[in-house]
Structure 1
């Protein structure tokens, strides 16, 4: 629902909850998660499939969202995570929200919509960008998707946003696939030498029994091009949302 005549827009949100960030550079930080519905991709490993449905959840305005967040604030709260689904489908809503309520925030995105990301670049504090692999079957034309993701990475680096790339790997993922993507990112954006690449083993970790050597190989090869960290989904190990 778009703005009309100066009225604040509403967006459809599936849930707002407090938990521990279990992925990436802010792992272990207490956050309030705002999960938007709708996604422009269709990844085969998605663990929030209900949120892909644009009709799922509740339509709320920015003041109602702020009230929900306020009710969940705790002394250890670090930031707000805008996640999904794909939150950049709701960029205008997030922009309105952060302009009125400038909370410390993190955007968790697939990076496929650099034009929408540009609307938020001066408002968010952290960005977690999920780079997709061909095997994720997210879109029919993976090359075009990677082009858009690289545009988003360039934007984040140019603006000096505290950000990182994340790639979900499965036991079937080849070392060459991840290494080639890391090489292309470094080649097109030399400044990415200081932008971490988080290699995230797909859950559950039982999938990796007897296969953890693959994670070492991926880290080594991708590490020839980018700064690599291998981090599983810790919130799932703790049975947290």
Structure 2
């Protein structure tokens, strides 16, 4: 089986619940969305990647394993475009398997045979130029409920921009609360977009966003640490 790969590398996880942990990252090329804040624009297009077999990817991953590395992160682009490929690579390792996804392809996510953790992005209207497609949010909800039903450790990440309005943010969080089958163990990570220097009055805004989420979910606010450390 083959898939377009942008890069395979070892680094510290810079986002979410596993922040600071050493991981091996497999970054796929190709994405079904076009978010305006994307910091890996080259990974949006399949032609940007190198076509590789699952065996070739597994061979590189094996060479990158170090004693402090406990997991593989499949990222992109949108890795859930390649569920069978992820399953083939994963079966070669005892490491934990993490998926970083936009959550808009629930049927594909369901095909991945083994997942230990999922970081699922919740998209906001401000993330897109033009009219927001409501099916994006509906599919994210489907993916979340699917993963929760399968007892897979999943958390949501919401990227906020300097232009993000508290009203639209609150509406999305409320809808999320109303449509999740079991929200007791679901955590929301608020991630301010990088670079932080583009923000004005960031502190007061972050407290306000956190208070909104805290009405419904456990919440943490975590910037992109790998950008601060200036690592990949």
Above 0.5 in TM-score? yes
Match of 1:202 among 193, 196, 218: 193
Aligned partners of 2:52, 2:94: CA distance in 1, in Å?
18
The answer to whether the 8 A contact 2:119-2:157 is kept is yes
Consecutive aligned runs of 4 or more in structure 1 exceeding 4 Å deviation: 138-141
2:87 aligned with 1:123: no
Match of 1:222 among 209, 213, 216: 213
Change (3 A) 1:215 1:45: same
What are the equivalent positions in structure 2 for 1:136-151 lying under 5 Å apart? 136-137=127-128, 140-151=131-142
What SS is found at the alignment partner of 1:221?
A: helix
Aligned partners of 1:176, 1:136: CA distance in 2, in Å?
15
Report the Cα offset of residue 102 of structure 1: 4.8
Aligned partners of 2:106, 2:94: CA distance in 1, in Å?
22
The answer to whether the 8 A contact 2:15-2:222 is kept is yes
What SS is found at the alignment partner of 1:28?
A: coil
Aligned partners of 2:58, 2:129: CA distance in 1, in Å?
32
Structure 1 residue aligned with 2:165: 174
Structure 1 unaligned blocks of 5 or more: 1-8
Aligned partners of 2:94, 2:55: CA distance in 1, in Å?
13
Aligned partners of 2:218, 2:130: CA distance in 1, in Å?
27
Structure 2 unaligned blocks of 5 or more: none
Structure 2 residue aligned with 1:19: 11
The answer to whether the 8 A contact 2:213-2:219 is kept is yes
Report the Cα offset of residue 228 of structure 1: 1.0
The answer to whether the 8 A contact 2:21-2:69 is kept is yes
**Over the residues paired in the alignment, what is the CA RMSD in angstroms?**
1.4
Aligned partners of 1:140, 1:118: CA distance in 2, in Å?
28
Structure 1 residue aligned with 2:96: 104
Aligned partners of 2:135, 2:173: CA distance in 1, in Å?
16
